[in-house]
Structure 1
Amino acid sequence: MVPTTHALPVWLLFLCGLGDTVPSHRGHCTGNQCFVLFQEPGDFAGAQKSCKDSGGQSLMSNSEPVEKLLRSPLHGGFWMTPSPDGPGRPGCPCISVSGGRNFTVLWKPCRDSLDGFLCQYTFHELCGGLQAASDAQVKYTYTSMDWELDDSDTFPPGTIAVAGTLDGQYLDSKHVCFSSGWVEAPWTCEVLQGGCEHACSSTHGCVCPAGKTLQPNNFACTDSPCGSNPCTGEGEECHITQDGFTCTCKDGFDLEDGGCVDVAICEKCEHMLCDKFNGVYECHCRKGFRVSPRDPSKCELMCTERDCPSICVHDDEKGPQCFCLDGYIQDTSPNTSTPFCTDIDECESNQCDQQCENLFGSYRCLCDDGFKLHPDMFTCVPVPVREQEEDEDGSGSTAPYPSPASPHPATVVPSYIKTGSVMGMSVFVALCAALLYFLIRNGAKRCGKFDLSSFRRPEIDIFYLQQVTTETYKRISFDKQFKNDPPTIL
């Protein structure tokens, strides 16, 4: 890389501002002098001014490198500067070229317009020729003024040298002349984008657009063999090689049986249990746990009974904090101070269209004969006639379709709540019957016409209602028994 701590010389400023260039001009450098042929029409005064404005001077007519500049194919007349020791003649000197090196020095009226002019320049810290492979050809260009310097002995700072072989698929290298030495691309991005064909990054060097890849020369781009996505298998990615490309497995995938298999999840399994099923690795859990439906790498407690212990976490400020698994609700028992979890009967909420089967911690929907479960897993739809005809037993009936576990409404309560409601109704009916009995008996005594002995029982059970809460329901127990003789009603 070009040292960034050095002050950029003037020629680098030219490089930084270089945009679209005009057609190349021929140049030849030897020692610390460069001689350039400009093919820009104009008169003698305009030629003198152009040479001076570009930091040079008009080429003298007795300069030896003229033959290097007038190589074929070239035709026309080009202004020069008269030699100080040459004969004085009217007009201004020029060179008339016909077919290359066959040229003649002529004197033309200074106001005539010729095909161009010749200038000469002086430089310091020039570079020698680039050392390239024996079969490589090198092209030299002074980029700030677009000079072709191929047939030169030395090269001014800022010259770009590009080397490559005729049968090569891409260029071998690119260099820039700096401080009498050649610096290979990519160099600092502040100078001609580091020599990059597309773009230059201060941290990554040359970069290419999407669909293209960097050639081995590290500055030019080419169509990427991976640009058409040739590696489309699960877990595959494309890597460029000298022969083209190869498909490899991404990080977290291993090559097994000719395909890439995701093994990254095995490193995340909470219980470190991982097995391959149908070509896919899955986490497993220890006994009493199941894989969490929210995260396939985590395990959660599993309850396979109607009642299970609650999960409690001790809190220094609030004490034990207990909770239940999904599908269970917290309850208490007089035999223990620790709450337990009991299964929620989701079927009581009538979430299914036809039939419902309660499961521990979940439920599933079933359908009657002639119906099948809709993809929403709740609704039953008629089985098409064609499917009924294809049924093996010819009855047209279909087996029940189970519904997977699904979220439950927070208001669903345990099944024994319904049982408590039935018990309360039973008690109410019993009390009403007892009241009716006493009314009839009392009426019989007054009227003296009825024999109610058949209604009498030695023992009558009295039930007392007990207030219950909405959180839990307790079974109502018998409180006490009446005496053998029924109470007298006045």
Structure 2
Amino acid sequence: MKDVTGLLAVMLAFLVGRAGGIEPNSGYCIGNQCVAVFQEPSDYEAAQNQCEGRGSHLMTVRTSVSHDILSILLGNLTGRFWIGLRRTTGCPDAAADLKGFQWVTKDSESDFFNWAPSFDSSCSSHRCVSVSQESDYRWTQEPCDEHVAGFLCEYTFNEPCTILAVGEGESVTYTTPMGFGVGDMLSLPPGSSAVRMPSEIKYVCFAQQWLQAPWSCEIQEGGCEYKCAMDPKQVPSCYCPAGQAINRANKVTCEVDTEDPCLKLRCAHACYHKGDSYACMCDHGFKLAQDGRSCVDFNDCTDERQCPGDNFMCVNTIGGFQCVCKDGYKMTGQLCVDVDECASAPCEHMCTNTPGSYQCSCYDGYQEDPKSPSKCKLYCGKEECVAECDPNDKFQCYCPDGYIAEERDTDTVCIDIDECSFFYCDQNCKNTFGSYVCSCSPGYTLVGHYRCVKNDDDTDADGGSEGSGAPTIPNIHSTSPVPYPDPTRQPSGVTVGGLVGIIVCTVFFIVLMVFLAHHFLTGRGKLESASALKAQDDEAHGLRHVTSDT
């Protein structure tokens, strides 16, 4: 059978463009061009996007033939429809044939002009163009954000097929891959299908030829009425459900067969005529199991020819596969294009878009936060550096982890904390900028980043415990910042504002204590003065204390 890899690519291109979109109401093909009409209220930009998503563009009316196509497609429709003519910048040029307008193909070439008599040449005139049956398809200026009745999309292609010859009593119906059926036309695009009646023989257009069904099972089930499968020789063939048989004339439709020899085989999918007998076969995307009748999924993605094109990848599905874009890419028309992740501002500081991904970076004086790569934290990398201060509040300053703030004459600087002076490590300690590293002597193992545990089986040559004799070279087991006690979790330093608050509170406390002491002493002095005064008054009145002799 003729290789249909190219046909598959053509069909996939049209199907991807149509996926999830609206269907055309009608269309017409001539030469290497098809035009489809969509009755979908849209503004100009949305209409152009719809066409581009289908691998086409808004219709250009450059010739009288194109004008005739308008009358064929819109003759029975009311309302205005967008065509691909627009003025992007500047003012209209009344002397030019296209009046300063341009086709969506970015050119001004045209052998046909059909401007409405009411053309507005002012600079504030509308920039987009529509046509309608009511205005005899004259080119009429419209506001680009206006929602008109619909739009027309223009498709171009190569290697078209001419119509099939029809015998007496026969007829042929055609359907294009764009989604609309066609009638009296002389040209059809690749991927179009045809059905000859009354025989129901099916064909598909490829490379200016009509291939009779069944064709590749990957394309519309090979044209089969029920299902398509590949026989052991990789030739596509149609099959029918149990109790039915393939029509021997057209090879695609199913007929009732009460003596179906496949019934007793109990095939999971289908059976085919194999010499003088019958055997089971499986649907496309499956392979026959060892029992000769069951079918198991076949990984189509092992074939490197699947999903051709840059930035596509193959995803295996049950009985088939899907072509999707790689991570960091999105489908635009028929291509996978890079997504600019930086547009969503994923980085705290700077973002650089890369093919399929992005990269975050930090301003000077910062480094990537290892716990969150999209964020940045202060970084010094030396013994001292200038603190990061709030430009609106010079007393609000910040230091990197492992540093403490110190106020100088005009600046606040961050000074590295020597964590080793706090004896956080069991044995050996090495201070680093912003942190510290613990290590152990030979014969010990570092546990929990700061504790040293003696090895049970490690003794010296004399049978004594290691470390009891001469000094040894430290055995460093950790090169990362020590989590206990974690110096990076200490406050980065007392700010100037905080220091002022502490001083104010201390002064207030001292004043309060002085006031209370003074109040206490003053009260006691008053009591002693009152007692002395009373004694003086008694003496002044001659009063004496008399005691009895008895």
Q: TM-score, normalised by structure 1?
A: 0.40
